[in-house]
Amino acid sequence: METIMMAMTQLMLLAETVAEGINPLVAIAAAIPMLAGIGAGVGMGIAVGKSVEGIARQPEAQGKISSTLMIGLAFIETTCIYALFISILLLFVV
């Protein structure tokens, strides 16, 4: 219990230190691109679900469906990584 309290205290001190150096509007602007993470998660879930349905209906097409799925997931993940990169730039460069 004492370790948890110490960790909480350290996190609060870190949050205060970071909050002093970051403009609140920049923090909000950095949070907006991270909504792409939510969209990426939903998109990946839908894509995987639909590919499983396709494989269940046509097992002989598993190779084509899986390869197309992997390419699509790579594009979705790239979008999410770009959003993370923009958020980091906004927080630490602007």
CA distance 79 to 47: 15
CATH number of the 35-94 domain: 1.20.20.10
Q: What is the pLDDT of residues 17-32, one digit of tens each?
A: 565 666 777 778 888 8
* pTM score of the predicted model: 0.66
Res 16: pLDDT: 66
Q: Can you state the angle between helices 62-92 and 24-31, rounded to 10 degrees?
A: 170
**Where do we find the tokens 């790579």?**
74
Low-confidence ranges of the chain (pLDDT < 70): 1-4, 6, 10-11, 13-22
Res 52: pLDDT: 96
Res 8: pLDDT: 73
CA distance 28 to 38: 16
Q: Where are the domains of the chain?
A: 35-94
